[in-house]
Amino acid sequence: MLLKEFYQVNEKITITDNTWKIRLNLNPQHPIYEGHFPQQPVLPGVGTLQIIREVASSLLSIPVQYTQISSCKFLSAIDPGKTPELELTLTLKEEGNNQWQVKADGETNGEPFIKLKATLKGRIKN
């Protein structure tokens, strides 16, 4: 994890052999919100992308990195104090050459907050 104690995965539900539903909680006390923004905290978009990458790494059991983001739509702002519970649906399709297509949809309180299509590449552990 790049950002220690930023979030906690509460539940992982396998929907198909390549699709999962992940329920997680944000830590509203995390220092990231002191800079984004102190009086009105908002989950940074890059933080959301980091969570998706880390969850995908966990599901694949190897470290991955983004090589391409085809589309990314942030549909609503997340205040971690008001809506700390997030739900992600991730689909990972293997493309060969240690690459995967990821499709991620995020919701909080039944409202969508992100839609992502990207390519991830596995990294060799040192």
Q: What is the CATH number of the domain that holds 52?
A: 3.10.129.10
Residue 108 lies in a domain: yes
Residue 40 lies in a domain: yes
Residue 34 lies in a domain: yes
Tokens encoding 22: 């992940």
Residue 34 DSSP one-character state:
G
Question: 118 is in which domain, residue-wise?
Answer: 7-122
Residue 31 lies in a domain: yes
Residue 45 lies in a domain: yes
Cα–Cα distance measured from residue 97 to residue 78, given in angstroms and rounded to the nearest whole number: 35
Cα–Cα distance measured from residue 101 to residue 45, given in angstroms and rounded to the nearest whole number: 20
Query: pTM, whole model, 2 decimals?
Result: 0.94
Predicted pLDDT at 1:
60
Number of domains forming the structure of the chain: 1
Residue 1 lies in a domain: no
pLDDT in tens, 5-41: 999 999 999 999 999 999 999 999 999 998 877 789 9
